[in-house]
Amino acid sequence: MTKLSWSDITVFQYQQLMEAWSQKDATVLDNLVRTVSIVTGMTEHEVDSLGIGALNNLAQEVAFTSEKIEPDPAPYIDISGARYRCIYDIREMPCARYIESSVFGADPIGNLHKLAATMVMPQKRIWNIGPWVDDKYDAAKHSLYAQDMLSAPITTVLGSVLFFCEVYLISTWNLAVFSTHHRLESTTTEGKIATEAIRALCNNMGGTIRSSWSLGTKVYPWETSMN
């Protein structure tokens, strides 16, 4: 039997799971079938066609979804030959990306890949074989960056986004540090909007997303979704 964990689940699969478990009219069997389908890549029809023994084995394989996700912030996210450096220094993000992040924060789970795409720096290799270095962040390519984030491990993306938010909130309490960030200087209208936007985002992230991964009850999420 394959031993899986949350680190094997991508951002896209996580979003699918959250959507599946939110269906109020679904039965316990419906949610089990959807969970197995999302995690294993089988179609729901294929899962439905399994015998009881085979389905029970797969239920055990996806039992890790009853456990709490442990976010794991990382310095880099590697996806299919591409690399992104995770940003944890608030001075590296311009106002526009803070404001953009707040828009995505209205649906932090559904837009998690878009949020992550605003908090990374794409990298490139020198002569395709040398060391990785920062590339220019191209706002026009945000959708491409976000598409890559869908394939990233959910533990890494959750960890990186939440860690950034925590760093931001701590930094804003330190006025000496915050005042050095001229792009977010509170004396400008743009700075005020950006400051409020990212603060609201981080507070929202701390509630909405944290509650969605705190499933450590040892009860299958497809069962708790029926309560």
83 shares a domain with 62: no
191 shares a domain with 115: yes
Residues 6+ apart with CB under 8 A from 207: none
129 shares a domain with 83: yes
Residues 49-84: b if buried by 16+ CB within 10 A, e if exposed: eeeeeebeebeeebebbbeebebbbbeebebeeebb
Domain that holds residue 36: 6-68+216-224
pLDDT at 156 over 90: yes
180 shares a domain with 167: yes
Give the Å distances, CA to CA, from 52 to 59, 71, 127, 178.
Answer: 10, 34, 54, 59
Per-residue pLDDT of 196-208, as tens digits, reads 656 666 665 555 4
Q: What's this model's pTM, rounded to 2 decimal places?
A: 0.77
178 shares a domain with 90: yes
Residue predicted with more confidence, 82 or 212: 82
115 shares a domain with 14: no
62 shares a domain with 119: no
Q: Does residue 135 lie in a domain region?
A: yes
Compute the distance between CA of residue 81 and CA of residue 32 in angstroms, rounded to an integer.
Answer: 34
150 shares a domain with 44: no
**What is the average pLDDT across 49-64?**
92
- C-beta atoms surrounding 193 within 10 Å: 15
Per-residue pLDDT of 116-144, as tens digits, reads 898 899 999 988 778 999 999 898 999 99
Give the Å distances, CA to CA, from 115 to 119, 138, 227.
Answer: 7, 15, 30
Q: Does residue 1 lie in a domain region?
A: no
Give the Å distances, CA to CA, from 216 to 20, 21, 39, 45, 211.
Answer: 18, 15, 18, 29, 11
pLDDT at 89 over 50: yes
- Comparing C-alpha atoms, which of 101, 47, 74 is closest to residue 222? 47
